[in-house]
Amino acid sequence: MDWSESPPNWETPIGEKIDRFLRAVSERFPDYKDTIVVFGSATIHLRLDPAFNSADADLRVSTEAILPFKALTEEIGLGKSGKGDGHFYLDITPPSAFRSTESWFGRAHTETRHGLKIMIPQLRDALVGKLHRRRKPEIDGIEPKDLRAFVRVRELTGGHPTEEELLKDILLCPHAWHLQMSGAVTDFRRNLEDLWPVLYHKPLDVNEQIIRPLMYELELAGYTEGEDWHELVRALVPTRP
């Protein structure tokens, strides 16, 4: 079996809590038809390592379901109000909360539980999703828990993602390499530049390994006058780091 395709185990500690919420949703909102996406560290817990725990589990739902689902988590004792006390909680998020590769949707695990459509990204897409995290002002570097996730997955999978695999996946995030309006590089890029020496013991050459290959793809398609191509050209020499 491919390292990233193991099915989720709902009998894990976090799996049982998510499943309890899903059962409650099916009973309280029987007409809910949109897909619920489980992402973040819960993906690693469910699909690889039941001992890999986090303070919460991220669930992406439709926008109109956010408030009623948040209220439901509070009712069943899995709400965010318990965060300050160190209790595990379910973080109900909007559709925009999870970003990963452009291919994640097509290769995710899908199933029906309690009559609900559930989707869980592959491990590789869950990891790339962590790289999209915005940096907190007080943290100078990649989020420690995100680095821990990469290290743990590599420990348990015999070295995956390899450098080649991760390069292939981050090239599926072309817009993450565009400059911000201020001219600064994105947090996605900064996170990767911090991650690369830890995983692969050498720096990531962003220009040669990422931006130029993306430009070449657009050149092959004849899009050298497009906005994406010009954004990538500017990203070769950002106005400020």
Which is more confident, 6 or 74? Answer: 74
Cα separation, 118 vs 106, whole angstroms: 14
Which is more confident, 185 or 21? Answer: 21
Burial of 163 (0-12, 13-18, 19+ CB in 10 A): middle
Task: Output the pTM of the full model.
Answer: 0.92
Per-residue pLDDT reduced to its tens digit, 135-157:
888 778 999 999 999 999 999 99
N residues, the chain: 241
Per-residue pLDDT reduced to its tens digit, 23-34:
999 999 999 999
Cα separation, 34 vs 19, whole angstroms: 17
